[in-house]
Structure 1
Amino acid sequence: MKTLFTIQGYKATRSSAFLSLFVIFLGFFSYAQETPIDSLKIHELKEVTVSAIRAKDKNPITFTNVTKEEIAPRNLGQDITVLLSYAPSVVTTTDAGNGVGYTYMRVRGSDGSRINVTLNGIPFNDSESQGTFFVNLPDFASSLESVQLQRGVGASTNGAGAFGASLNMQTKSYQEKSFAEVSNSFGSFNTRKHTLSFGTGLHNNFEINGRVSNIASDGYIDRASTDMFGYFFNANYVRETTLIKAIAFGGKEKTYQAWNGLEDPYKLKNDRTFNSAGMYTDELGNIQFYSNENDNYSQNHFQLHWSENWSENWVSNIALHYTMGKGYFEQYKEDQKFSSYNLPSFEGNAKTDLVRKRWLDNDFFGTTFSLNYKTQATSVLFGGAVNRYLGKHYGEVVWTQYYVPNPNRYYDNYGNKDDMNAYIKLSQNLTSKLNLYVDLQYRMTFYKATSVKFADVNDTFKFFNPKVGLNYQLDDQNSLYGYAGIANKEPRRDDYESEANKPERLYDYELGWKYNGEKAKISANMFYMNYEDQLVLTGALNDVGSQIFTNSGKSYRLGLEVESVIAITDKIILSPNVTLSENKNQDFYFEIDGVLRDLGNTDIAFSPSIILGNRLTFLPIENFEFSILSKYVGEQFMGNIDAKSSKLDDYFVNDLNISYDWKINKGIKSIVFSGLVNNVCDLEYESNGFFYTYDDDSSGNIITYGGTGYYPQAGINFLLGVTLKF
């Protein structure tokens, strides 16, 4: 078995690692003494696991909070990124076209590998790709307490640097009263979700709650089916000054590949659901589709949190975590060379059709910690993390058209990464109205990797990430803030393959106004994000459907964001947001007809200049809610050379959401009926795509036009759900 870490000479294997955490967990329990519970202090402790990296109202940081109550009416099977799609500056897309399976989010034009995601303060981004894959955590939204989306550099956090946003997620804590819930939803494309949740309630300082879920869908795109199982279990010990949580969650998914998109213009117009994944020609010349062109992956997370309120001024939190993931995707490949897979030829045939599996087997473990001293005027917080990632990448051929080979690995590589950071944050009231915020972080990463596509890597990166800001309270309702921050980010594994492996730097400036009135809440901010060696999306994809990046030299994002909640009447609530921005590469160089040319300032790929969102909610009677959700995304280029052929059209999508909570309180507390009609206007649109240039066959030179592909999204579709609460 693989050794994960050593504690005082004891070697921990994958099977024993969680046992070690459990033993420590029991040790904490034996230490804690029975004392009366102060509900106010415990409520504060509930927030400690994420408070170190979350922004507070008086901090000069641009952020949006989303509660579980806001998510619940639409939580009928779609992924968490889709449920957040109406937040400011957010653009989402899905491979299958209906929000189930592989989904992606961009914030201010920055893709998921540049959005720092933490779960209870624990990093979630994959250490090598730096991407986030919520398909591995099915129905995770059902276990969330709250979400905070920070835009820009934001506050110091754990994990990969935030170059567009930070997404901080807090899972549900203990529940004082026992409960049980059974949720079922069904909808278009044979989509269904089944969830069972329970909680024992708090008894003798102990509480256990949990959830198991199954989500499946055929998908809008042909064969883009998904079958996912997810779980979440949480054991809590609570006393007046102590909260200890042992959490286990994860999931397993099997998803038919749909990452190829659609390149054929005729099919885009007449056969929008066509999927080329798994396509091959049989011996009779007939087009066939391989039935097992699937992605299979399981991921399990274990977290142990200890929050302690030592006095009125001192609060601490320490967490241990371990994540293990393993899986593969399977592909049918035509006319492959035997020699490319370390296989012997067959009776003079140098090529063959074959089926291959490409594996990822990884472990991620470490600790996060924070210590907070606070008075009425001062808050000083020291925190950090030490984490290790061990990744194995290998491929196997499991079938050829001539013979079935013995299990063989045609490549076997690794990627190991150590990541550590320490930060100190000061929030100081300089006067009764003026608050100073200072945030200093030092981060180090050590990355070693091998690959068949790039030379061995042994890189060390050291980053200093300072932030400073002021918040001025004009009166009880109005405040102004200013912020400046620097972030640095290391390259991803794939960046070494494309030789775009320079570290990046971002200077972020934010200037904002917040209004908190009785009938309305409004926040507006201007941002200027100035990059050095930003890794921008080229628009092209690699051989496994992942996006390719390039260093753009100098670039910037300049924009205005406005977000509001307005109570028009007691029964009508309007929640619009708008983002207007300019996103430019400066003096962008590109090779045209064999000559490297300066194209001047070009638009950054996948960065629309206008994004609008709105939620119009009607509350006609008690416990009944009806919402119209709208999203407009302006046109955007899928490459960085402003080629007309790379333009992705704008789109305006509207959804309807209905929820009614029928109170019974006779055995069954209530029955919640929910309905969601997506894309109610049945718009044909594409939310994502790709663009690549290629060598001209006659001249051998790179030319300015190339291939384009799109990811069509579903027309009108629906989901209906019923939840029984006991």
Structure 2
Amino acid sequence: MTTGLALLGLSSGVAWAQGPVAGTLTDARTGQPLPGATVLLDGTPSGATDAAGGFSLPAVPAGSHELRITFVGYEPFAQTLQGQAGAQRLAARLQPGGVLTGDALVTAQRASDRTATAYTNLGKQELAKRNFGQDLPYLLDQTPSVVVTSDAGAGVGYTDIRIRGTSNTGINMTVNGIPLNDAESHGSFLVNLPDLASSISSLQVQRGVGTSQNGGAAFGASLNISTLDNRREAYGETSNSFGSFNTWKNTVQFGTGLLGQHFMVDGRLSRINTDGYMNRAASDLKSYYLAAGYQAKNTLVKFITFSGREKSYQAWNGVPEPGITGDAALLQQFIDNGELSPDDADRLRREGRRYSSYTYDNQTDNYQQNHYQLHLSQGLGDDWSLGAALHLTRGLGYYESFRANRKLANYQLPNITLGDTTIKRTDLIDRKYLDNYFYGGTFALNYQPKSNDRLQATVGGAWNRFINDHYGEVIWARFASTGNIRHRYYFNDATKTDYNAYARATWQLLPKLGVYADVQLRHIEYNIDGLEDDQNDVRTRARYTFFNPKAGATFALSEGQQLYASFAVGQREPVRSDFTDRPAGDQGAKAERLHDLEAGYRLRQADVNLLGPGGSVSFEANYFYMNYRNQLVATGQLNDVGTALRTNAPRSYRTGLELTGAAAALQNRLSLSSTLTLSRNRILDYRAVTYDADYNPITAAEARTTTISYSPSVVSAHTLEAQPLAAVPGLRAALLYKTVSRQYLDNSTSQDRRIQPYQVLDFRLRYTIRPAFMKEIELGLLVNNVLDRRYAANGYTYGYPGADGRPQTFNWYFPQATRNFLVSVGAKL
């Protein structure tokens, strides 16, 4: 198999000055652009192809250089390139095939222009220029329909992401085709894998139901992560950041390249520390990544292990509303109702929006998660390939809390009698543990006949089991009664088995018309036995079988222009807290069902004249209508570990328009990308329930149409990036602007329970030099919240009637950091 390359206007003579090189990358058989491919000059990553397949090298020095382009599932390309004074243009066409990359499982689950769904691809270089040490959600902040938040306020520690108003419990996340979501909570706790972004080779965000995935169903989006890139040359890299709130990030990466044409080893060590923007919200995060592989022409075997350990001071309680507003009357209401003690109220007055409700010095969350993956990619003749993997995830940890004036009986301890005195309450410190194993296997069999590129098909599936022990221990008590140290006061265990099978095919029915079909069958068995921390029996027996069909079509208007439409069904089981934390009188959670319609228009044009030759333009307009039955929506309340409580809404929908555009001009020295989402998110016939002080339901309001909680109607993101000095090609500056409209904390659409709209401007500067003694040195600066806005990105609420019968509302918010900075220094050997 050979790689085709058409060079346009390249000089073969020896050049005497440096000049820019730009070009496009396409599939040699289909002509489709290949976004996210890695472009290397002299072995150094020098960018990635954009959405239109375009790439540029601002200045190639005089002399002979090696230009190399690699892309998953294609033959690599290598070509000698001569630097010259004038601009050079080239068009690269890659042939599928080559040595297997190991991405067979990943690509089997990824969307493409043939699958008629909305998606965004990000390559390693795109993620790297955003990575100053903040968690992965913050690196995705500029992608369509995304809203991010941080408990500690600065993007390190516990962070969260919502896409189209759906929290990460509705976002399917996989790493190399292996489910990352917790099997019980459906959440993906990326704090357990700090600096995962440094090991990511490519990432795809699918919005809506998307293609069939392993793991939990996607109810808002899918996040498909790959770390399986094979780098043929040896490398050593380090990246170090320092910034506000005593934030440090240190990362070291290395790789052997190909040894003896068959073996490779890659590794990473990372450490991130911060005091956090919020008071007493520090995080101490450590992680590693190690991969070892063997490859031949048609076989690749790769063992991957990665792990993260986190210790984070608990910041999941947020800040009471009067700490944000300074409203003295509201603060007194919090005090009178027992929401704040007088001492806490005094601290709130002093600390303001950076207030923490905890003062115990070890009020921390402690968790370690170890991942082990064994991957096989096997070519089966010219037309077939197989991807398979075995996996094991081991999680163990606890959070430690000081509890004041707790009833002994609630901890299975008898009262203490001293003479005529009976002691029924005590101060104590407890730990709540999780101890779990998640293991299983996945496979994907891909069919792509070389004699007929009109047809592509995949059959795949997975079997996974999750075993989790939940238990609590008292490690200290002022009055211990008969309890010993580490007295266990509750225990329950959960087992969840999940298996699925799917089949997918795309067929180019006519030269301009393609069709797509995808069916998935998924079965879940979920059992819980034992007592929860409130001493309630949480015995659960749940069985679900879901059939999820999907279909779509694409129509090519012309080269670079496409219309598409798809319809998909997604179904999902409730999460653990939906079973264990239901309010009194609730009949139990029901499974959710989603009908998702997506339709849109794509434009991708490279080599256009924008302030000169070598520009590129892309635009996409995507309409979505997501119609739910029994959608589990947040009530605005949290349980004692910060998990949102939810209730079924019988009928609800999300509909909207996502507009995304990008343009590059001046041979990529100037680029602008923007995304705007306009949406309507509604619950039909919603009946708001009022609770008393013991959270017992007492009234239900008249049914009406309301806005779904945490669902802004307008979200936009804009990035303007430039090479400000033509004589300094390694200097890039960027402005990043984010806007999020009003959100409601619950489903009442009450103006008293909302998150105010906000706008945030960030500034990024990177300067890359290539000295003679190493491949690259990069200096970076990130200034977050340049305009010093005081805003909150998340919160929760609860309320009940006061003494006069009128409703009282108590809101808590998660303020985000005011102006802050991070500086970085990176080196590549």
| Amino acid of the structure 2 residue aligned with 1:240 | K
- Rounded to whole Å, the distance in 1 between the matches of 2:218 and 2:233 is 38
Paired position in structure 1 for 2:400: 330
Q: Distance in 1 between matches of 2:113 and 2:314?
A: 43
Q: TM-score, normalised by structure 2?
A: 0.80
Partner residue of 2:423?
349
Query: How many residues were matched structurally?
Result: 676
1:182 aligns with one of 229, 238, 241: 238
Match status 1:247 vs 2:345: no
- Taking the TM superposition and a 5 Å limit, the aligned residue runs for 1:405-420 are 405-420=484-499
Deviation at 1:401, TM superposition (A): 1.3
Verify the 8 A CA contact 2:514 2:555 in the aligned structure 1.
Answer: yes
**Is residue 116–residue 161 contact of structure 1 (8 Å, CA) maintained in 2?**
yes
Q: How does 1:59-458 map to 2 (within 5 A)?
A: 59-204=115-260, 205-266=262-323, 268-269=325-326, 271-278=351-358, 289-346=359-416, 347=418, 348-375=422-449, 376-403=453-480, 405-450=484-529, 451-452=531-532, 453-458=536-541
- Encode CA deviations 1:588-631: one digit per residue, 9 max, x unaligned: 01235954333411000000000000110102342221111110
**Distance apart, 1:406 and its partner CA:** 2.8
- Residue 506 of structure 1 corresponds to 594
Name the CA shift for 1:515/1:705 in 2 (closer, same or farther; >3 Å): farther
Residue in 1 that maps onto 2:765: 658
Q: Which amino acid aligns with 2:489?
A: Y
Which amino acid is the alignment partner of residue 553 of structure 1?
Answer: P
Cα separation, 1, equivalents of 2:738 and 2:122: 17
| Distance of aligned partners of 1:143 and 1:264 in 2 relative to their CA distance in 1, 3 Å threshold | same
Q: Is 1:527–2:630 an aligned residue pair?
A: no
Cα distance in 1 for residues equivalent to 2:306 and 2:367: 14
Q: Is the 8 A contact 2:102 2:376 kept in 1?
A: no
Bigger mean CA offset, 333-342 vs 585-594: 585-594
Of the three residues 719, 726, 729, the one matched with 1:615 is: 719
For 1:547, the equivalent position in structure 2 comes to: 644
Equivalent residue for 1:585? 683
Residue 716 of structure 1 aligns with an amino acid whose one-letter code is R
Alpha-carbon shift at residue 276 of structure 1 (Å):
3.5
> What residue identity is the alignment partner of 1:576?
S
Change (3 A) 1:193 1:360: same
Bigger mean CA offset, 396-405 vs 115-124:
396-405
Q: CA deviation at 1:697?
A: 4.3
CA-CA distance at 1:58 after TM superposition: 2.2
Q: Which has the larger radius of gyration?
A: 2
1:41–1:241 Cα contact (<8 Å) kept: no
The Cα of 1:256 is off from its aligned counterpart by: 0.2
Name the CA shift for 1:334/1:199 in 2 (closer, same or farther; >3 Å): same
| In structure 2, C-alpha distance between the alignment counterparts of 1:585 and 1:612, rounded to whole Å | 23
Residues 150, 267 of structure 1: CA spacing in aligned structure 2 closer, same or farther, 3 A cutoff? Answer: closer
What is the CA–CA distance in structure 1 between the aligned matches of 2:717 and 2:75, rounded to whole Å? Answer: 41
Cα deviation for residue 38 of structure 1 reads 7.0
1:78-131: CA deviation from partner (whole Å, max 9, x where unpaired): 000111111100000000000000000000000010000000110000000010
Identity of aligned residues (%): 41
Q: How far 1:68 sits from its partner (Å)?
A: 1.4
For the residue of structure 1 that corresponds to 2:409, the secondary structure is: helix
Find the residue that maps to 1:82 and give its secondary structure: helix
- More displaced stretch, 212-221 vs 258-267: 258-267
- For 1:681, the equivalent position in structure 2 comes to 787
Q: Which amino acid aligns with 2:442?
A: T
Question: Which moved further from structure 2: 365-374 or 395-404?
Answer: 395-404
Distance 1:211 1:268 in 2: 44
Contact 2:280–2:356 (8 Å) recurs in 1: no
Instruction: Please list every run of 5 or more consecutive structure 1 residues that lacks an aligned counterpart in the other structure.
Output: 1-36, 279-288
Equivalent position of 1:516 in the other structure: 604
> Which AA in structure 1 matches 2:437?
D
Q: Give the aligned partner of residue 337 of structure 2.
A: none
| Structure-2 separation of matches of 1:42 and 1:238 | 11
Unaligned runs of 5+ in 2: 1-73, 77-95, 327-348, 607-615, 692-697
- CA distance in 1: counterparts of 2:619 and 2:239, whole angstroms: 35
State the secondary structure of the residue aligned to 2:790. Answer: coil
1:74·1:674 contact (CA, 8 Å) conserved in 2? no
CA contact (8 A) 2:321 2:810 kept: no
Contact 1:192-1:215 at 8 Å conserved across structures: yes
Residues 645, 705 of structure 1: 8 Å contact kept: no
Q: Deviations over 1:155-195 (max 9, x none)?
A: 00010110000000011422111111122110000000011
Q: SS state of the match for residue 447, structure 2?
A: strand
Distance 1:46 1:625, change over 3 A: farther
